[in-house]
Amino acid sequence: MTTLETMHEAAMKNYEEKNLDKALEIYNEIIRLNPIDEVALACVRDIYEEKDDRFNYYLARANVNIAQNKMEYAINDTKKAVAIDMENLDARRKLARLYKVSKQNLKAIDEFLRLLAVNNKDFDAYFELVDLYMMEDSIDSAISVAKQGSENFPENNNMKNMLAQLYFKANDYESALSVVADDMLRAKILLQKGDDDEAKNILDKFNPNSLDDFQKKNYYILMAQYLYNKKDFDNSLSQIENYVKISGPDAVSFQMKALIYEEKDDMFNSYLNWGFCRKLQGRQDEAIVEFNHAYQLNANDKTVLFELAQLYLNQKERYIAMEFYQKIYEIDRDEKARNILAEFYESEGDYKKAEEYGLTRESKNSNDKPEEEFVGLLDRIMGMFSKK
């Protein structure tokens, strides 16, 4: 029997013997260990109902609804609890967070503001509010909240750095530098401001081998930016590779590479990296444009051809995608392209073409259309695009 099963038995025994406080204590410990234990959540609700504690009953019932992903019911229950005790900060914080996870950002903002009006020392509320304002593209309001947080927590570096980050996003570099506490962030701001040598002096204080992975990848990308600013493009690329070894390829690394290759007048690799950047950002139309630019410069690059083929497939443009798979196959009889083409022509009913690409069928249904009707499908598809 597991620990939780033993605890459930003990809690139920106490509940049946009307030792409600002890049962409640055990059930709350179960919930601490497993926050979505619906049996424990429901029992806590029932205990508060039996104790006629309406405030905690509504909060407990809200927890049951949260576990069942019934957010609107959870919100309504929490509102009832708040109505019973308007000064209870935990209930109001719970309501604010429920609004936030339900993507009712404006209501969440109102609740967090009410929370801070009662208790301006609620540390987490400042971060929650800043996050919500940024979701609503209201950076001025986010800065205002972060300034209040910094005033109420003047010694807290996290507050200072949050405010610095917001000033940085607003392109107010002087204000950012006036409050920033983190040296790595200070170097980032200085690089963006154009004070490259001052930023380098800060970066030189770090030994990347003694940094954790998060700090290390920030160090490498900042060094890459410094070297880019100094037009030392090859070494900048090396620093980006160091960054990628830790973080993996991401939109930031592809964007940096795209900019470097553009400066090196290597437009193929610039377009290629912009394509990957836009793809990772979820901007598929723009990715297609960038990869097509690369394709115009090198029509035989398989990486570009595969990316275009897959992007067109994602957009349900199957015929255009097959055109690119055909180009891939013509380069070196690529196995993956061959299989995709075979499956495509089979799905189109052009069994002759499918078999040309290696697809074999042990038998054909008697209702299959004569192969002659489909002969030349590839030619018709290719002709469609040649008339553009």
Classify residue 166: in a domain, yes or no.
no
SS3 assignment, position 378: helix
In a domain, 233, yes or no: yes
Q: Of 230, 248, 266, at which residue does a domain stop?
A: 248
**pLDDT confidence of residue 87:** 87
* H helix and E strand count, the chain: 23, 0
Question: What's the pTM?
Answer: 0.78
pLDDT at 377 over 70: no
Is residue 306 domain-shared with residue 381, that is, in the same domain? yes
208: in domain: yes
SS3 82: helix
Go through the chain and tell me how many residues it has. Answer: 388
Q: How many domains does one find in the chain?
A: 2
Last-in-domain residue among 206, 231, 248? 248
Residues 6 or more apart in contact with residue 185 via CB below 8 angstroms: 161, 164, 165, 168
Number of neighbours of residue 23 by Cβ within 10 angstroms: 23
pLDDT in tens, 333-353: 999 999 999 999 999 988 888
SS3 315: coil
From 248, 265, 283, the end of a domain falls on: 248
> Is residue 151 included in any domain, yes or no?
no
What is the Cβ-side half-sphere exposure of residue 330, based on CA atoms within 13 angstroms? 10
pLDDT at 226: 97
Q: What is the pLDDT of residue 386?
A: 47
Q: Is residue 326 part of a domain?
A: yes
Instruction: Let me know if residue 34 belongs to a domain.
Output: no
- Condensed to tens digits (0 to 9), the pLDDT of residues 107-152 reads 999 999 999 998 999 999 999 999 999 999 999 999 999 999 999 9
| CA separation for the pair 263, 241 (Å, rounded) | 18
Q: pLDDT tens digits for 297-309? A: 999 999 999 999 9
pLDDT tens for residues 228-261?
999 999 999 999 999 999 999 999 999 999 999 9
Residue 270 is assigned to a structural domain of this protein: no
Give me the domain span that covers residue 344: 299-388
Same structural domain for residues 319 and 385? yes
CATH at residue 316: 1.25.40
In a domain, 196, yes or no: yes
Tokens of 53: 């504690």
Contact 148, 125 (CB under 8 A): no
Spatial separation of the C-alpha atoms in residues 162 and 11, rounded to whole Å: 44
How much is the pLDDT for 373? 44
Residues 304 and 387 in one domain: yes
